[in-house]
Structure 1
Amino acid sequence: MKTDLSTFTGEGSPGISAKVKYLLWLLFSNVFFLTNIPYPNNFKVGILKIFGASIGKHVVIKPWVKIKFPWKLVLGDYVWLGEEAWIDNISEIKIGNHVCISQGALLLTGNHDYKKSSFDLISKGIVVEDGVWVGAKATVSGGVVLGSHSVLTVGSFTSKDLAPYTINQGNPAQVVKHREIS
Structure 2
Amino acid sequence: MNRINLQAFTAGDFDKGAGKLKITAWYFVNALLVRASWNPFMGIKVALLRTFGAKIGKGLIIKNNVIIKFPWKLTIGDNVWLGENSWIDNLDYVTIGSNVCISQGALLLTGNHDYSVPSMPYRNAPIVIEEGVWVGAEVVVCPGVTMHINSIATVGSVITKNTEVDGIYQGNPAVLVRKRRIGITV
TM range (shorter): over 0.9
Structure 2 counterpart of 1:110: 111
Query: How many Å separate the matches in 2 of 1:165 and 1:13?
Result: 34
Structure 1 counterpart of 2:60: 59
Structure 1 counterpart of 2:44: 43
Given that residues 34 and 48 in structure 2 are in contact (C-alpha distance below 8 angstroms), is that contact kept between their aligned partners in structure 1?
no
Given that residues 35 and 64 in structure 1 are in contact (C-alpha distance below 8 angstroms), is that contact kept between their aligned partners in structure 2?
yes
1:162 aligns to 2:163 (yes or no): yes
CA gap 1:178/1:14 in 2 versus in 1, 3 angstroms:
closer
Aligned runs of 1:2-151 on 2, under 5 Å?
2-11=3-12, 18-151=19-152
Query: How many Å separate the matches in 2 of 1:25 and 1:33?
Result: 10
Shift in Å at residue 13 of structure 1?
A: 8.3
User: Cα deviations across residues 122-155 of structure 1 (Å, max 9, x unaligned)?
Assistant: 1100000000000000000110000100000000
Q: Aligned-residue CA RMSD in angstroms?
A: 1.4
- One-letter code aligned to 1:163: E
Q: Return the structure number with greater strand share.
A: 1
Shift in Å at residue 14 of structure 1?
A: 6.9
Unaligned runs of 5+ in 1: none
- One-letter code aligned to 1:144: V
TM-score (norm 2): 0.94
CA gap 1:19/1:12 in 2 versus in 1, 3 angstroms:
farther
Query: How many Å separate the matches in 1 of 2:144 and 2:14?
Result: 24
Query: How many Å separate the matches in 2 of 1:11 and 1:59?
Result: 35
- One-letter code aligned to 1:95: I
Query: How many Å separate the matches in 2 of 1:18 and 1:102?
Result: 31
Query: How many Å separate the matches in 2 of 1:75 and 1:179?
Result: 23
Query: How many Å separate the matches in 2 of 1:116 and 1:68?
Result: 26
Number of residue equivalences: 181
User: Cα deviations across residues 51-81 of structure 1 (Å, max 9, x unaligned)?
Assistant: 0000000000000000000000000000000
CA gap 1:134/1:36 in 2 versus in 1, 3 angstroms:
same
